[in-house]
Amino acid sequence: MADLRRTDLRLRAEQAILVQVASHLDKSEADETFEELENLSRTAGAVVVGRVRQQRSRPDPRHYLGKGKLEELRQLCGELNPDVVICDDELRPAQVRALESALDIKVVDRSEVILDIFAGHARTDQAKLQVELAQLEYEFPRLKKIWSHLDRTAGGSLGGPAGGGIGVRGPGEKQLESDRRIVQKRIHDLKKELDTIERRRHTTAADRHETFPAVALVGYTNAGKSSLMNALTGAGVSVRDRLFETLDTRTRAWKLPNGRQAVLSDTVGFVRKFPHHLAASFHATLEEAREADLLLHVVDASKRDAGQEIRAVNTVLEDIDCLHKPTIYVLNKMDLVRDAAEVAIIRKLVEQVICTSAVTGQGLDELAQRVCEHLEVGQAELIVRAGVSNGRLISLLHKTGQVLDQRCTDETLELRVRISPHFAGIIRSLGGEVVQAAIPEAGVS
């Protein structure tokens, strides 16, 4: 029996066999999900050497696979001698133990692979804390190892070289209850730290959104959100052709065609079967989407399964209470589209569609104009008087509103501005005078 009692199960250049249990009724979806699992595994660093699929209505409650297919997998493992078996679903602790016992090989599931990728891509303190929290919450019911290192090391990060890594299992039953208390305390401390960060971010975002409208990019991982952000704002954020390249929310100023300025945020991407506990752990990162005035749902138009990816993202948006928000669907990567019929199908699935290419610039002006129209809904026209030397107020009006007309008399500047009505109080606080306000009868939809 192989020694599976290791403290680091990260997938670094390990040879892997992928395993999936799929329903007979949805082969196309199963194919795409299996392909995604392979992409996830490769992103985590594994080398895929084989695949095994079983067609059945639901996974076996003990071994995930049925008896016959389990024997087939065992024989394949004997032939290929892989380092790890990766299953396409989240496994229960008992299923992992039963599979490892039957195969004599390390077994991980989809959630562990995603956590591995997250651990490798986390850059900021917030992302690292979120990854550690997600790892601990995932591992807690699977706890079989002595975790006392968490009360000896500052931070206790599982993603670092000295930490436990992903998928820690093994002996330690005598200290299991003590270990559980240590992990529970660390989870409590992490949530407290993240809550502090979230409240700080919320205050900063509220101050920022009070001045500028907020737009958030959401979408499937690797749909081109970061590339689109660079094309729209010149942000210079990291862009690489790999899954979950962006974990930390990035926010940049976006100058719109009407002269106004908006705040554009890039958020973490999603995948099928996105673990619920990950969405919970990354709540602070996803908060930008929850607080946005408008969502840009970015879709890779060149993907055959774009419709499935849209549904997967909308499932997560519903989980974080964002599905009701005003949304423009952005069909990105149009330069890679080879079949126009695929785009036509997507157009039938959703409303408010703009076709773009962050590479060629196609549709970017149209997208910016459509965003302007959305943000102008419900705005008021204000007549504002200010001293000609009140540069701060005048600058604010130009950045946050659309100056339609202005006249200068003596030492007073009078401006007619289309702007959100809540700015009236801010204008007065900066020494301006609102002498007239008229809400347009109809906005642009």
Max mean pLDDT among 6-15, 71-80, 256-265, 379-388 falls in 71-80
| pLDDT tens column, 395-431 | 888 877 778 888 888 788 988 888 776 677 778 888 8
- On whether the CB atoms of residues 53 and 34 are closer than 8 A, the answer is yes
72/163: higher pLDDT: 72
- On whether the CB atoms of residues 373 and 349 are closer than 8 A, the answer is no
Of 91-100, 112-121, 234-243, 370-379, minimum mean pLDDT range: 234-243
What is the rounded distance in angstroms from the CA atom of residue 232 to the CA atom of residue 26? 38
The length of the chain in residues reads 445
DSSP string computed for 138-199:
HHGGG--S--GGGGTSSS--SSSTTS--SS--S--GGGHHHHHHHHHHHHHHHHHHHHHHHH
Whole-number pLDDT of residue 382: 86
What is the rounded distance in angstroms from the CA atom of residue 291 to the CA atom of residue 216? 9
Whole-number pLDDT of residue 66: 93
Max mean pLDDT among 51-65, 172-186, 337-351, 369-383 falls in 51-65
What is the rounded distance in angstroms from the CA atom of residue 157 to the CA atom of residue 134? 11
Whole-number pLDDT of residue 238: 55
Nearest by Cα to 205 from 325, 292, 327: 292
Q: Which amino acid, one-letter code, is at 340?
A: A
Max mean pLDDT among 197-201, 265-269, 313-317 falls in 313-317
Domains of the chain: 15-115 (3.40.50.11060), 123-196 (no CATH), 212-375 (3.40.50.300), 380-438 (3.30.70)
Average pLDDT, stretch 184-203? 83
Max mean pLDDT among 26-30, 101-105, 168-172, 337-341 falls in 101-105
Nearest by Cα to 145 from 160, 115, 119, 165: 165
Reply yes or no on whether the pLDDT at 267 is more than 60: yes
| pLDDT tens column, 122-141 | 777 877 888 888 888 888 87
Element (H, E) at 252: strand 250-255
Max mean pLDDT among 139-143, 148-152, 217-221, 290-294 falls in 217-221
Buried/exposed code over 227-257 (b: 16+ C-beta within 10 A; e: otherwise): bbbbbbbebebebeeebbbbbbbbbbebebe
Q: Would you give the distance in Å from CA 390 to the centre of its chain?
A: 42
Element (H, E) at 114: helix 110-121
CB atoms under 10 Å from CB of 168, counted, come to 22
Where residue 44 falls among pLDDT bands split at 50, 70, 90? Answer: confident
How do beta strands 380-387 and 412-419 pair? antiparallel
- For 199-226, what is the HEC assignment? HHHHHHHHHHHHHCCEEEEEEECCCCHH
Reply yes or no on whether the pLDDT at 292 is more than 90: no
Tell me the percentage of the chain whose pLDDT exceeds 70: 78
Average pLDDT, the chain: 79
- On whether the CB atoms of residues 418 and 404 are closer than 8 A, the answer is yes
The structure's pTM equals 0.68
Strand 402-409: give its sheet, edge to edge: 402-409, 412-419, 380-387, 433-438
Tokens describing residue 347: 């157009």
Average pLDDT, stretch 373-379? 77
Whole-number pLDDT of residue 155: 44
Average pLDDT, stretch 109-122? 83
Whole-number pLDDT of residue 400: 72
Average pLDDT, stretch 225-235? 87
Strands (E), 283-379: 294-300, 327-332, 353-355
How do beta strands 412-419 and 402-409 pair? antiparallel
Whole-number pLDDT of residue 24: 65
- Helix, strand, coil shares of the chain, percent, nearest 5, are 45, 20, 35
Nearest by Cα to 299 from 331, 327, 269: 331
Residue with tokens 């020494």: 431
Of 71-85, 135-149, 415-429, minimum mean pLDDT range: 135-149
The beta-carbon contacts of 74-78 under 8 Å, at least 24 apart in sequence, are: 74/102, 74/103, 76/17, 76/50, 76/52, 77/17, 77/103, 77/104, 77/105
- On whether the CB atoms of residues 20 and 52 are closer than 8 A, the answer is yes
What is the rounded distance in angstroms from the CA atom of residue 71 to the CA atom of residue 60? 14
- On whether the CB atoms of residues 210 and 231 are closer than 8 A, the answer is no
- On whether the CB atoms of residues 115 and 128 are closer than 8 A, the answer is no
| pLDDT tens column, 310-369 | 988 888 888 778 888 889 999 999 999 988 887 888 888 887 899 999 999 999 999 999
